[in-house]
Chains A and B, each alone.
Chain A
């Protein structure tokens, strides 16, 4: 329960960074922090106390494994998060070359 709440606090820090900061790189950092906290929350839901990693062994039968389904989903989500971060960073680099600033309040004019 305490662990769930700490995970939610981490999510709120990322949300504050997105809502309140004006720098584009800071907004990317906030998105990354939120993504980390959501991934961690999935794995926390699937953890079993005293459980073992979900890998079978040949010479013994292993009972009491942790849930493998959230781990498989989060494995997909981590890679997609990297792709999203790379795409946003590329767009931010282009915006800097066009406008000369990362400040989102100064990126107003359309330049064709």
Chain B
């Protein structure tokens, strides 16, 4: 999986540019680079449904963030205890990486999943649900309550955005 590692390094570079860029617009565009790289990684990992969904979602996300940042660039201030805060942050990240590396040895090897539950879906999914695409059979049949909850969350988020962004109705 050499191409996957190249793609991950590309995404890490994009994320570093997004964190370190001075103006907000280039930072948002670098996040778009990370998301499109993630879409390509999903294609390499044999998940075409996710690649399509990630592509659409990434474009919408970049549009929303550009709407939030347009003509509102700000200079960054680095006052306060800069050295101390950065040192503490890097120490915490080092501890997190160390523990993550320690825990990853207990995971199954890359490319050899356990598939204790999913083996039933793979064997019986076509006969039980009639869907040729196993992902849609899991989303819409085996775990349909999850999808119902997702639709509820989406509806609530849209209501929240409309309630926050409305222009009228705020009379003093």
Contact = CB atoms under 8 A, between A and B. Distances in A.
Interface of A: 1-10, 12-17, 19-23, 25-26, 28-30, 32-33, 36, 39-40, 43-49, 51-58, 65-69, 71-76, 78-87, 89-94, 96, 101-103
Interface of B: 1, 4-5, 8-9, 11-12, 15-16, 18-19, 24, 27-28, 31, 34-35, 38, 41-42, 45-50, 53-54, 57, 60-61, 64-65, 67-69, 72, 74, 76-77, 85-86, 89, 92-93, 96-97, 100-101, 104, 107-113, 115, 117-118, 121-122, 125-126, 132-135, 137-139, 143, 146-147, 150, 153-154, 157-158, 160-161, 164-165
A53 B153 CA distance: 28
Given A15-B93, A55-B133, A75 B72 contact: no
A72 B138 contact: yes
Contacts of B12: 6, 9-10, 13
Contact of B118 (A9, A36, A69): A69
Nearest to B85: A20
B144 to A, nearest CB: 11
Contacts, number: 232
Nearest to A32: B31
Interface majority SS on B: helix, strand, loop or mixed?
A: helix
Given A5-B100, A9-B12, 16 more contacts: A3-B5, A4-B104, A9-B97, A25-B28, A29-B19, A45-B108, A46-B113, A48-B113, A68-B121, A68-B135, A75-B49, A82-B60, A86-B161, A87-B161, A94-B165, A102-B74
Given A43-B47, A79-B53, A29 B122 contact: no
Interface majority SS on A: helix, strand, loop or mixed?
A: helix
A12 B89 CA distance: 10
B113 A83 contact: no
Contact of B134 (A7, A39, A40, A65): A65
Contact of B50 (A25, A48, A78): A78
Contacts of B49: 71, 75
Contacts of B53: 75, 78-79
Contacts of B109: 1
**Candidate in B69, B100, B109, B146 with the most chain A CB atoms within 10 angstroms:** B69
A102 B72 contact: yes
A54 B135 contact: yes
Contacts of B117: 69
Contact of B15 (A10, A72, A93): A10
**Candidate in B49, B61, B68 with the most chain A CB atoms within 10 angstroms:** B68
A68 B101 CA distance: 26
